Amino acid sequence: MAEAVLRAQGLNKSYGALQASKDVSLDLRPGEIHALIGPNGAGKSTLIKQIAGNIAPDSGRVELLGRDVTALDTVARARMGLGRTFQISALAMDYTVLQNAVLGALGGRGRPFHFFRNVMKDPELLEQAHDALERVGLTDDANRRTADLSHGQRRQLEVAVALTLKPRLFLMDEPMAGLGAAGSKALTGFLDGLRQEAPILLVEHDMDAVFALADRISVLVYGQIIATGTADEIRANAEVRRAYLGEEDAA
Ligand SMILES: Nc1ncnc2c1ncn2[C@@H]1O[C@H](COP(=O)(O)OP(=O)(O)OP(=O)(O)O)[C@@H](O)[C@H]1O
């Protein structure tokens, strides 16, 4: 089996008496989409934050590309190739689509800048930004104000911003949230192709998207992974149906 690009081992995290992660282990392999599903409050965001480096686990470890990164912060993990999209948009709404993409590319440089107008003339940054916009199908919208984009287009732009850093793997937190049927179909098609280049750990409530896309699915309930398997295995798992999917959704 190919070496995992991401490995979480025995993660525990408590908030007071509440154990939000209980001995959580999972991995992400080259070329795959691994979906993380579970009811509201199950601990999905808490787990993603430990993997990304926003919060430290009480115990356990996180390995990225074979290296122990448990003590590294979000910036160091991003520089190693961990790309991320967020539940709540981190885009600058008054900037154009291109400006947001250039700022994303700039984030990979790791040194401060002083003049925004110079940044917007930097050929290398512009090329990275244009490439990423083309990948997600936003080339024609490059000069539009981000606030004027549709919700679906903003989601595409978030992926483009993450792509400017040429990530080796992605953490995506509910990328389908708020998208209509057409938007979520388009994004599903895009993620389907993206997995070969950068595998994706996908937190998603849209079960149609999850079952269409995921090579493997892990189900988190009360901070614990109760099952990991293919879509068919998860659909057929009695404990998962009881705890989460419900009979009608799992049919
Ligand atoms: N900073 C915090 N302090 C205290 N409790 C927290 C904190 N963050 C999360 N929790 C609690 O930990 C549990 C897991 O929350 P988390 O946000 O990880 O769940 P989730 O599966 O991502 O939920 P959702 O699907 O609604 O986003 C919840 O009971 C939540 O209230």
What separation in Å is there between the alpha carbon of 85 and the centre of ligand 1? Answer: 18
Q: Is residue 60 part of a domain?
A: yes
Q: What residues pair up with 221 in beta bridges, in sequence order?
A: 224
Q: Is 180 exposed, middle or buried (0-12, 13-18, 19+ CB in 10 A)?
A: exposed
The pLDDT value given to residue 104: 85
Does 157 share its domain with 45?
Answer: no
Does 249 share its domain with 147?
Answer: no
Q: Is residue 86 part of a domain?
A: no
Strands 169-173 and 200-203: what pairing? parallel
Q: Measuring from each residue's beta carbon to the nearest atom of ligand 1, which residues come in under 6 Å? A: 15, 18, 20, 38, 40-46
Does 154 share its domain with 172?
Answer: no
CA–CA distance, 53 with 72 (Å, rounded to integer): 7
CA–CA distance, 120 with 185 (Å, rounded to integer): 33
Does 128 share its domain with 238?
Answer: no
The pLDDT value given to residue 3: 86
The pLDDT value given to residue 45: 93
Residue whose Cα lies nearest atom 8 of ligand 1: it is 46
What is the count of structural domains for the chain? Answer: 2
Does 35 share its domain with 96?
Answer: no
Ligand 1 atom closest to the CA of 43, numbered from 1? 18
Q: Is residue 134 part of a domain?
A: yes
- Residue range of the domain that includes 158: 91-165
Q: Is residue 10 part of a domain?
A: no
Does 26 share its domain with 100?
Answer: no
The pLDDT value given to residue 175: 86
Does 174 share its domain with 237?
Answer: yes
Does 172 share its domain with 244?
Answer: yes
Cβ(28)–Cβ(199) under 8 Å? Answer: yes
What separation in Å is there between the alpha carbon of 20 and the centre of ligand 1? Answer: 7
Q: Is residue 171 part of a domain?
A: yes
- Residue 30: give its domain's CATH number: 3.40.50.300
Ligand 1 atom closest to the CA of 47, numbered from 1? 18
Ligand 1 atom closest to the CA of 16, numbered from 1? 4
Q: In what order do the strands lie in the sheet with 67-68?
A: 18-28, 6-15, 59-64, 67-68
Q: Which long-range contacts (CB under 8 A, 24 or more apart) does 226-235 make?
A: 228/26, 235/211
Report the complex ipTM: 0.95
| Average pLDDT for runs of 10 along the chain of length 251 | 89 97 98 95 95 97 97 93 80 94 80 68 92 91 95 87 91 86 84 91 92 96 96 93 66 44
